[in-house]
């Protein structure tokens, strides 16, 4: 019964029985006049469906197929198999699939050829031809000949013996497969005619035999199914797992009749070679049974009214009621238990109700409740199954059956993310477990009352599902055996925005939670969280999300229609492997002092595109957001790379540290003045005026920690530096080449490759060169061409201590003037000369 509840509601294949299972009759025949005839013929293998299991009952049928049906109805399929390879007809080859059947049927006089040696096996058969074959199969050949022969005599005899009941067609027209099924089924139950007198005047009589009883060793019975294995009605003892009780008789059963417990049935049993009867088909007798299935989505309430328990449910959008008989029998999870009204309340449960009225009094006297628990498999061994929620089923402690569809499987066949639906017996000692590996992938196009629409198709959520899902999410849902959504296997992140999180907190009264972040626009924002947030794919209370967030990190988030954050994801760290994961918010790389190449637009081996979002978090108190232009050529950066594409293009880069170190191309600059002031963002910073490239230039510092010397003192008039600016044109890094406070200390330095700084005394001046000594060492000559910038510094001057100079202003060292020369050399070429007094 329970399987019927579930499969009929959601076409899932929940096989609530440990009995072997036969293939079910296709949906195409259910509720039609063909349901019983085709079911019977399929059970006896007289009629088969196509490769998809469909019978195509409106299609026509060919002569060889009907011949095979007649021979099988006579129980002679083994003889047909032995007769393969005969040459009865020119157009039936030795390897024709119906060769044996046609040979046997010819020998029995059921069929004949066209007079030219052909059988025409693939010709469509007519109504009168099919009737003739079945009349002959039931032994009425002589009676038909006496009534006029072919075709009228055969049709007349068939009509007199009820073989044509329910059969539609016209004598000379082709007959459909469905009508042949009805005709053949009628023939099975027609009393046969046999020869009873022999000699010169043979006689024929109708005998108390049928093809069903005599040829197939079977019989048709009616009665109520009272027990199927351990499933029983009240007061009935269980039978063996491979047996069924109908009325007071017990039959072996290869047929899965568990969905018919309590039903009045029309059944067919067949004797085996040991004379033991087996149930091969049972059909609910619709004239005496009324069944009603109720799912949790349709269930509304169970109440007692005037001493009668009444279930209220929805059907077709209308509220309806179902009354329970006072002596109703309750079958809960395959076991008969004392009636308990509470068990019928399936609101918000993984459960189904099926009601059965077997005496047509408008009250349901058998109530089936199937309640199950879904577990998402994390791992499985032969002794236990562990769920992702750490739920454990210890298989050594229970009796159980584990199914995938209709097939029994082993626990070790389970995989991670399989959904198992566990039906526990009332005593918890027996579990029937049904595995589903079905998933649905697609975009969430609607959020409905009971679930979600994925690409327009609605899926209902199971009771345990508690994950936040937003419109537009691209998801992969795990489905249970009833095709209900049980879990999210995967979510392709739908990002409204990225943000650099600086704080997360809950209000003092605990009512509202907030995050502070820098949005990808560069704006600082304080955003409220929805009461429940999908945090890394799991529905979580807002205050718990706050507890789970780390400050100063990048997040991906989604806002709902109220502009509150409904989703937050922190990145999955795959930086060790550098794995590309386009379905998830991912940290792909951690960079340590990696150089940017503006020619290739690469930061190390990572491509930086115009779409790359760059968060500069090198100063945590002043986070800025930009794009590709934030990176400077040959500058080294430390940071994090997120959401890389397969082309190694960065989605987001967070710079945590920048080596704003001037390179050899940076010109020497002399400090004229330094002061405090506000930058373009209204923030307090240092402002410096420099003499560089022959001109005075005033620039803001990135912050107040930039324009300092090695001893921590601020730059001063006369200091010689190189500097590097960021994308905002602010000085972000400097190199002090000469500290004016140490102007009496001579040196030769090589601060970076290919650059040399000389500071010493001029020994001699030539037309285009200088001899310079350092700390009394031998003088070296330095050629000064016309392109060299020359400045002078007078640290004692009261008015203008820094200015542009000329080659002619350079003088030999004079102790009274205490003058020295500063020379910067790049690749053996002098770039700047600065006179220092």
pLDDT tens for 341-400 read 999 999 989 999 999 999 999 999 999 999 999 999 999 999 999 998 889 999 998 999
Nearest to 832 by CA among 723, 756, 733, 774: 756
* 406/20 Cα distance (integer angstroms): 8
According to DSSP, the residues that pair with 624 across neighbouring strands are: 616
pLDDT tens for 426-465 read 999 899 999 999 999 888 889 998 999 998 999 999 999 9
Asked if residues 670 and 692 have their Cβ atoms less than 8 Å apart, the reply is yes
* 695/669 Cα distance (integer angstroms): 10
Asked if residues 165 and 193 have their Cβ atoms less than 8 Å apart, the reply is no
| Count of helices and strands (H, E) across the chain | 10, 54
pLDDT tens for 231-257 read 999 889 999 988 999 999 999 987 778
Question: Looking at residues 335-346, what average pLDDT do you find?
Answer: 95
Amino acid 5: pLDDT: 33
Which residue in this structure is represented by tokens 């000469």?
738
Among 10-19, 632-641, 768-777, 780-789, the range scoring the smallest mean pLDDT is 10-19
Q: What is the average pLDDT score of the chain?
A: 90
Listed as own residue / partner, the contacts of 708-712 with beta carbons closer than 8 Å and 24 or more positions apart are: 709/736, 709/739, 710/736, 710/739
Nearest to 255 by CA among 278, 236, 277, 239: 278
Nearest to 426 by CA among 338, 326, 299: 338
Nearest to 776 by CA among 813, 742, 822: 813
Q: Is the pLDDT of residue 324 over 90?
A: yes
Amino acid 15: pLDDT: 32
* 187/158 Cα distance (integer angstroms): 9
Q: Is the pLDDT of residue 8 over 50?
A: no
User: pLDDT class for 13, splitting at 50, 70, 90?
Assistant: very low
pTM above 0.95, yes or no: no
Asked if residues 233 and 248 have their Cβ atoms less than 8 Å apart, the reply is no
Beta-carbon count within 10 A of 262 CB: 25
User: pLDDT class for 618, splitting at 50, 70, 90?
Assistant: confident
User: How many CA atoms does the CB half-sphere of 274 hold within 13 Å?
Assistant: 3
* 283/43 Cα distance (integer angstroms): 11
Which residue in this structure is represented by tokens 């107040």?
704
Nearest to 509 by CA among 543, 483, 533: 543
pLDDT tens for 173-231 read 999 999 999 999 999 999 999 999 888 888 999 999 999 999 999 999 999 999 998 89
Q: Is 81 helix (H, G, I), strand (E, B) or coil?
A: helix
Q: Is the pLDDT of residue 128 over 80?
A: yes
Amino acid 495: pLDDT: 56
φ, ψ for residue 629 (rounded to 5)? -70, -15
pLDDT tens for 497-508 read 899 999 999 998
Q: What percent of the chain is predicted at pLDDT more than 70?
A: 96
Amino acid 25: pLDDT: 53
Question: Looking at residues 750-768, what average pLDDT do you find?
Answer: 94
Pairing of strands 565-570, 524-535: parallel
* Residue partners of 172: CB distance under 8 A and separation at least 6: 126, 127, 128
According to DSSP, the residues that pair with 177 across neighbouring strands are: none
Question: Looking at residues 695-716, what average pLDDT do you find?
Answer: 92
pLDDT tens for 819-832 read 999 999 999 999 99
Q: Is the pLDDT of residue 813 over 70?
A: yes
E strand segments, 372-438: 373-380, 384-387, 392-394, 399-404, 407-408, 419-424, 430-436
Q: Is the pLDDT of residue 763 over 90?
A: yes
User: pLDDT class for 494, splitting at 50, 70, 90?
Assistant: low
Q: Is the pLDDT of residue 150 over 70?
A: yes
Tokens describing residue 20: 């072997």
């Amino acid at each position: 019964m329970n399987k019927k509840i579930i499969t009929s509601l959601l076409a899932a294949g929940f096989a609530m029985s440990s009995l072997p299972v036969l293939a079910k009759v296709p949906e195409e025949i259910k509720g039609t006049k063909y349901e019983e005839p085709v079911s019977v013929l399929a059970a006896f293998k007289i009629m088969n469906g196509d490769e998809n299991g469909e019978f195509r009952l409106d299609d026509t049928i060919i002569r060889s197929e009907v011949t095979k049906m007649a021979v099988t109805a006579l129980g002679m399929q083994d003889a047909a198999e032995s007769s393969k390879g005969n040459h009865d007809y020119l157009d039936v080859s030795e390897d024709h699939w119906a060769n044996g059947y046609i040979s046997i049927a010819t020998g029995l006089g059921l069929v004949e050829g066209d007079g030219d040696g052909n059988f025409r096996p693939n010709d469509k058969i007519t109504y009168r031809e099919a009737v003739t074959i079945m009349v002959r199969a039931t032994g009425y050949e002589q009676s038909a000949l006496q009534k006029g022969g072919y075709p009228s005599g055969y049709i007349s005899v068939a009509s007199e013996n009820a073989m044509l009941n329910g059969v539609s067609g016209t004598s000379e027209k082709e007959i459909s497969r469905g009508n042949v099924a009805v005709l053949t089924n009628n023939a099975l139950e027609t009393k046969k005619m046999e020869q009873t007198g022999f000699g010169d005047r043979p006689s024929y009589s109708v005998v108390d035999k049928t093809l069903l009883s005599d040829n197939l060793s079977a019989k048709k019975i009616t009665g109520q199914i009272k027990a199927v294995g351990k499933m029983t009605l009240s007061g009935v003892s269980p039978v063996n797992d491979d047996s069924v009780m109908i009325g007071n008789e017990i039959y072996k059963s290869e047929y899965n009749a568990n969905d018919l417990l309590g039903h009045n049935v029309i059944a067919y049993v067949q004797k085996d070679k040991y004379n033991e009867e087996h149930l091969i088909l049972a059909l609910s007798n619709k004239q005496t049974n009324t069944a009603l299935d109720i799912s949790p989505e349709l269930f509304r309430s169970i109440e007692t009214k005037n001493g009668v328990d009444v279930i209220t449910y929805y059907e077709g959008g209308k509220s309806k009621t179902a009354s329970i008989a006072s002596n109703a029998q309750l079958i809960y999870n395959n076991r008969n238990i004392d009636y308990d009204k509470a068990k019928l309340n399936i609101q918000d449960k993984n459960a189904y109700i099926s009601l059965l009225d077997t005496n047509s009094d408008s009250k349901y006297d058998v109530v089936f409740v199937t309640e199950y628990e879904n577990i998402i498999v994390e791992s499985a061994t032969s002794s236990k199954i562990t769920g992702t929620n750490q739920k454990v089923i210890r298989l050594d402690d229970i009796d159980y059956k584990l199914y995938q569809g209709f097939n029994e499987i082993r626990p070790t066949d389970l995989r991670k993310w399989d959904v198992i639906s566990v039906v526990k017996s009332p005593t918890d000692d027996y579990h029937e477990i049904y595995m589903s590996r079905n998933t649905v992938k697609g975009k969430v196009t609607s959020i409905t009352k009971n679930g979600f629409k994925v690409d327009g198709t609605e899926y209902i959520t199971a009771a345990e599902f508690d994950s936040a899902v937003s419109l537009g999410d691209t998801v992969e849902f795990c489905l249970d055996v009833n095709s209900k959504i049980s879990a999210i296997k995967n979510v392709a992140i739908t990002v409204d925005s990225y943000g650099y999180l600086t704080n997360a907190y809950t209000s003092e009264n605990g009512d509202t939670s907030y995050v502070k972040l820098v949005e990808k626009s560069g704006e600082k924002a304080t955003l409220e969280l929805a009461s429940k947030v999908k945090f890394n794919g799991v529905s979580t209370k807002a205050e718990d999300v706050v507890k789970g967030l780390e400050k100063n990190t990048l997040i991906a988030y989604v806002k709902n229609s109220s502009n509150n954050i409904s989703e937050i994801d922190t990145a999955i760290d795959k930086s060790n492997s550098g794995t590309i994961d386009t379905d998830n918010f991912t940290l792909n790389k951690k960079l340590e002092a990696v150089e940017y190449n503006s020619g290739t637009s690469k930061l190390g081996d990572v491509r930086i595109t115009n779409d790359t979002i760059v968060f500069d978090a090198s100063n945590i108190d002043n986070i800025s957001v930009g794009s590709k232009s934030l990176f400077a050529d040959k500058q080294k950066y430390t940071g994090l790379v997120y959401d890389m594409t397969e082309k190694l293009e960065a989605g987001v880069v967070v710079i945590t540290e920048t080596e704003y170190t001037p390179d050899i191309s940076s010109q020497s600059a002399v400090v004229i003045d330094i002061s405090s002031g506000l930058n373009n963002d209204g923030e307090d910073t240092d402002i410096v005026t420099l003499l560089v490239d022959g001109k005075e230039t005033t620039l803001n510092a990135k912050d107040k920690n930039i324009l300092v010397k090695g001893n921590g003192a601020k730059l001063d008039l006369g200091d010689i530096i190189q500097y590097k600016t960021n994308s905002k044109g602010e000085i972000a890094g400097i190199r002090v080449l000469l500290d004016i406070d140490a102007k009496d200390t001579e040196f030769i330095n090589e601060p970076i490759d290919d650059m040399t700084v000389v500071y010493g005394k001029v020994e001699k001046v030539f037309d285009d060169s200088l001899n310079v000594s350092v700390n009394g060492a031998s003088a070296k000559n330095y050629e000064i061409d016309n392109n060299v910038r020359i400045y002078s510094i007078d640290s004692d001057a009261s008015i203008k201590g820094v200015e542009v100079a000329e080659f002619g202003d350079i003088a030999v060292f004079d102790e009274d003037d205490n003058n020295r020369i500063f020379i910067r050399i790049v690749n053996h070429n002098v770039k700047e000369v600065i006179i220092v007094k």
